[in-house]
Structure 1
Amino acid sequence: MNNRTEIFQTLRDAMVELFELDPERISLEANLYQDLEIDSIDAVDLIDHIKRQTGKKIAAEEFKSVRTVGDVVEAVYRLVNPETA
């Protein structure tokens, strides 16, 4: 999970599994809260899933600014590639 494409695919798979979302609804532009109807409890579950996948904890403060799936991909990319972020 080193590049944005891999991160997106892993994230999409996780969202389908965790939240029973239709994969076609999940795009980089999709708003987590409005388009995908993810609430704050779901967001915590997603953060926990990311931590288990990467072995790194994403800061809750960083996740507060996240609005779209693309924002999550960028946050995870910066987490797993700190030297290029």
Structure 2
Amino acid sequence: MQTRDEIFATLRDALVELFELDAAQISLEANLYEDLEIDSIDAVDLIDHIKRQTGKKIAAEEFKAVRSVGDVVEAVYRLVNAPAA
């Protein structure tokens, strides 16, 4: 997962697989909580799935700030493209 488009495609597939959402509902503008009805437990599952896919964990504080699918894409993009510490 390197480009934003690749991250979005992977994230969309994960949302469909994990939460049985319709892929047509999932856009960069879709609000996780209002449009997709993701709750806090689902969010934890999503964070765990991202960790398995990338080998890196999104900080809970960073994930609290995300509201839309696009926000998640940006957070993952920053995570996977961050310089190694």
Q: Calculate the TM-score normalised by the size of structure 2.
A: 0.96
Q: 1:14 maps to which residue?
A: 14
Q: 1:70 maps to which residue?
A: 70
1:48-59 residue pairs with structure 2 within 5 A? 48-59=48-59
How far residue 32 of structure 1 moved from its aligned partner, in angstroms, is: 0.2
How many residue pairs align between the two structures? Answer: 83
> Structure 1: where are the runs of 5+ without partners?
none
State yes or no: 1:44 paired with 2:39: no
- Structure 1 runs, 4 residues or longer, greater than 2 Å off: none
Q: What is the RMSD of the two structures over their aligned residues, measured on CA atoms?
A: 0.5
Q: 1:2 maps to which residue?
A: 2
> Structure 2: where are the runs of 5+ without partners?
none
* Identity fraction in percent: 84
How far residue 82 of structure 1 moved from its aligned partner, in angstroms, is: 1.1
Residues 53-73 of structure 1: per-residue CA shift (max 9 Å, x gap):
000011000000000000000
